[in-house]
């Protein structure tokens, strides 16, 4: 059974929005983001969405619909990665658009954060990421066992 929680916040600085849709699956939590990860209230929505996960299972941030990440957003991603790691939770960035991947590479955050495409992710078993069985699906889904 999965549950969905939506976290939405308006960025007071420039009126932009960050939408976070949380989907808790049996083996992972997927947070689908849309908008901009920038300084403002939107970053609070993302912080709350990640830190409110009830189970210690892997967290995947799906950035397919994120068009901008500023310095504050990069710092937030690094903070969330460290928080997850300190709490024994696997943390991945998935499906980032090319220009967002470029920013992660330019700042060398791609060497700290695990950045992958949704097509690379298969499932999570016993806290470890496995690759290969579900190819070309274009989505994250648990493999029924």
Mean pLDDT lowest for which of 48-57, 59-68, 80-89?
Answer: 48-57
- pLDDT per position as a tens digit, 78-130: 999 999 999 999 999 999 999 999 999 999 999 999 888 766 665 433 333 44
d(CA 1, CA 69): 32
Q: What is the SS3 string spanning 60-110?
A: EEEEEEEEEECHHHHHHHHHHHHHHHHCCCCEEEECCCHHHHHHHHHCCHH
Give residue 42's pLDDT band: very low, low, confident or very high (50, 70, 90): confident
Q: Spell out the domains of the chain, with CATH numbers in brackets.
A: 3-59+85-127 (3.30.750.24)
Give DSSP secondary structure letters for 8-37.
Answer: EEE-TTTS-EEEEEEEE-SS-EEEEEEEEE
Q: What is the mean pLDDT of the chain?
A: 76
């Amino acid at each position: 059974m999965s549950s969905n929680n939506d976290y939405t916040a308006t960025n007071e600085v420039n009126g932009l929005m960050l939408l976070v849709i949380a989907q808790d699956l049996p083996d992972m939590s997927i947070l689908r983001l849309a908008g901009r990860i920038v300084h403002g209230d939107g970053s609070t929505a993302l912080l709350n969405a990640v830190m409110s996960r009830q189970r210690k299972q892997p967290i995947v941030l799906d950035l397919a619909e994120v068009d901008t990440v500023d310095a504050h957003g990069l710092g937030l991603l690094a903070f969330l990665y460290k928080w997850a790691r300190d709490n024994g939770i696997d943390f991945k960035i998935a499906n980032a658009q090319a220009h967002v991947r470029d920013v992660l590479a330019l700042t060398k955050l791609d060497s700290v954060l695990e950045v992958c495409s949704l097509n690379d992710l298969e499932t999570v078993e016993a806290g470890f990421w496995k690759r290969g069985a579900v190819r070309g699906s274009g989505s994250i889904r648990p493999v029924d066992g």
